[in-house]
């Protein structure tokens, strides 16, 4: 049920930019408080020169603001929704319309205005209690006025910061103003995708053997959210299926609206908010049933598949170019004390940032080395014998 009036200040405090991005199926590359993504805004110019698009959308997750260096759009989460929905930011009716969408999507509730009784709990609030609540939310205070939006330093990677998507502290604040809503993160999935096609030509074209396809449970999906994608089951470290990621099979279709890899966003089921945080998982970790002597850490799924096929099955992926604090702990726990960890990210700038975040979050004592690939090379570019020599 929507609230008849909107407290815009409270709305800005309650809505997290990352949740809005997830609502639009955007999975940004997160480094600390900074994130980047391909710009999905309708006003963003389409590229006609055939060159690969770059991630021009820069987001400061902590401040809850964005800026696109391509179409120059900027603002906060509400502005983002206005632009995504094709609404007019200077029309108050449109602004209210966008705000009501946020209220609906994230089940926001607000304290009533001074002197108005709140029917849910009968609590009467006044300006005093409102400001007291605000004092308890210092993290949100910088987003209260859109005129204060600054894009300063938004592209600078702040490696080593705690990945903000792993933090639940911001969410807990809502309990003061909103009705309690149970939040479950990375819960076991209550169903399986049954009719996946493991014989789809895309899989063979990527050099995957039938054994590898079966091991990783891969298959082409022709319906639902993962339509036209290879479904990739993701498991918790205990081995429970948590969700499916989807890799689009037709690279020509990759765009803002159609990311190469699709991860589930937040959704509500039976009054429970289900969230998926990939920063709390390591791909393939559940297959390592006990700590290993030598663990290889890569960025993406394809590297895990390829290394496994080449005989290196003690391999996990952070599923992106950043290692969170939680992932660092998981990695450390997968290696025996005094064991070795080889970092094998892609040979580009994102891979360099990935290695830096891994060095920051892996706890010692472990022997950690970074096999630095160059020229944009990825682990999948190396034939088995070269990979073996590299990993010796």
Assess 373 for contact with Zn ion (CB under 5 A): no
Nearer to Zn ion, 39 or 310 (CB): 39
CB under 5 A: which stretch of 65-73, 204-212, 293-301, 335-343 binds Zn ion?
A: 65-73
Candidates 12, 23, 44, 235; binder of Zn ion (CB under 5 A) is 44
Nearer to Zn ion, 68 or 99 (CB): 68
Candidates 26, 61, 68, 84; binder of Zn ion (CB under 5 A) is 68
Nearer to Zn ion, 55 or 237 (CB): 55
CB of 43 to Zn ion, least distance (A): 7
Assess 22 for contact with Zn ion (CB under 5 A): no
Q: Rounded to whole angstroms, what are the CA distances from 390 to 147, 319, 367?
A: 52, 22, 16
Nearer to Zn ion, 70 or 198 (CB): 70
CB of 59 to Zn ion, least distance (A): 12
| Nearest-10 crossing angle of helices 325-333, 349-361 | 70
Nearer to Zn ion, 65 or 68 (CB): 68
Candidates 33, 70, 291, 360; binder of Zn ion (CB under 5 A) is 70
Nearer to Zn ion, 12 or 44 (CB): 44
CB under 5 A: which stretch of 35-43, 147-155, 225-233, 314-322 binds Zn ion?
A: 35-43
Place of tokens 């290993």: 292
CB under 5 A: which stretch of 70-78, 274-282, 324-332, 371-379 binds Zn ion?
A: 70-78
98-107 — which CB contacts under 8 Å span 24+ positions? 99/6, 99/8, 99/11, 100/2, 100/6, 102/11, 102/15, 102/20, 102/77, 102/78, 103/2, 103/3, 103/6, 103/11, 104/2, 105/23, 106/14, 106/15, 106/19, 107/178, 107/179, 107/181, 107/268, 107/273
Assess 39 for contact with Zn ion (CB under 5 A): yes
Size of the site for Zn ion (CB under 5 A): 6
Roughly how many angstroms between the first and final C-alpha of the chain, as a whole number? Answer: 60
DSSP string, 366-388: SEEEE----TT--GGGS-HHHHH
Burial of 154 (0-12, 13-18, 19+ CB in 10 A): buried
Nearer to Zn ion, 79 or 275 (CB): 79
Candidates 3, 8, 9, 71; binder of Zn ion (CB under 5 A) is 71
Assess 237 for contact with Zn ion (CB under 5 A): no
Collapsed DSSP state (helix, strand, coil) of residue 331: helix
Nearer to Zn ion, 16 or 44 (CB): 44
CB under 5 A: which stretch of 43-51, 76-84, 318-326, 343-351 binds Zn ion?
A: 43-51
Q: What is the largest CA-CA distance in the chain?
A: 75
Pairing of strands 335-343, 292-298: parallel
Q: Which two tokens stand for residue 94?
A: 């449109």
Which residues make up the interface to Zn ion (CB under 5 A)? 39, 41, 44, 68, 70-71
């Amino acid at each position: 049920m929507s609230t008849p009036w909107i407290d815009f200040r409270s709305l800005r405090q309650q809505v997290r930019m990352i949740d809005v991005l997830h609502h639009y199926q955007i999975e940004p590359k997160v480094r600390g408080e900074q994130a980047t993504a391909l710009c999905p805004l309708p006003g963003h110019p389409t590229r006609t020169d055939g060159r690969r698009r770059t991630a021009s959308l820069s987001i400061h997750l902590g401040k809850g603001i964005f800026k696109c260096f391509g179409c120059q759009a900027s603002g906060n989460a509400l502005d983002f929704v206005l632009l995504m929905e094709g609404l007019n930011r200077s029309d108050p009716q449109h602004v209210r319309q966008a705000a009501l969408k946020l209220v609906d999507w994230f089940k926001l509730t607000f304290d009533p205005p001074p002197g108005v009784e709140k029917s849910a709990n009968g609590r009467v609030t006044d300006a005093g209690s409102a400001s007291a609540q605000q004092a308890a939310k210092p993290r949100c205070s910088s987003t209260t006025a859109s005129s204060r939006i600054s894009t300063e330093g938004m592209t600078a990677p702040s490696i080593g910061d705690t990945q903000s998507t792993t933090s639940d502290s911001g969410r807990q604040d809502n309990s003061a103003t909103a009705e309690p809503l149970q939040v479950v993160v990375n819960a076991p999935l209550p169903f399986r995708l049954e009719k996946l096609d493991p014989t789809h030509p895309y899989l063979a074209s990527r050099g995957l053997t039938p054994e590898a396809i079966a091991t990783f449970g891969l298959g082409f999906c022709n319906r639902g959210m993962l339509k036209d994608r290879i479904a990739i089951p993701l498991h918790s470290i205990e081995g429970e299926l948590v969700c499916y990621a989807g890799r689009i099979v037709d690279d020509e279709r990759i765009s803002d609206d159609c990311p190469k890899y699709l991860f589930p966003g937040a959704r509500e089921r039976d009054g429970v908010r289900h969230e998926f945080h990939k920063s709390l998982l390591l791909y393939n970790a559940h297959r390592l049933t006990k700590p290993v002597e030598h663990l290889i850490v890569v960025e993406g799924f394809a590297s895990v598949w390829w290394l496994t096929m080449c005989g290196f099955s003690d391999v996990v992926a952070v599923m992106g170019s950043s290692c969170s604090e939680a992932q660092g702990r998981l990695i450390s726990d997968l290696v025996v004390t005094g064991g070795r960890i080889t970092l094998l990210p892609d040979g580009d700038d994102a891979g360099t940032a990935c290695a830096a975040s891994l060095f920051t979050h892996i706890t010692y004592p472990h022997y950690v080395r970074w096999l630095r690939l160059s020229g944009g090379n990825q682990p999948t570019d190396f034939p088995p014998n070269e990979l073996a020599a590299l990993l010796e």
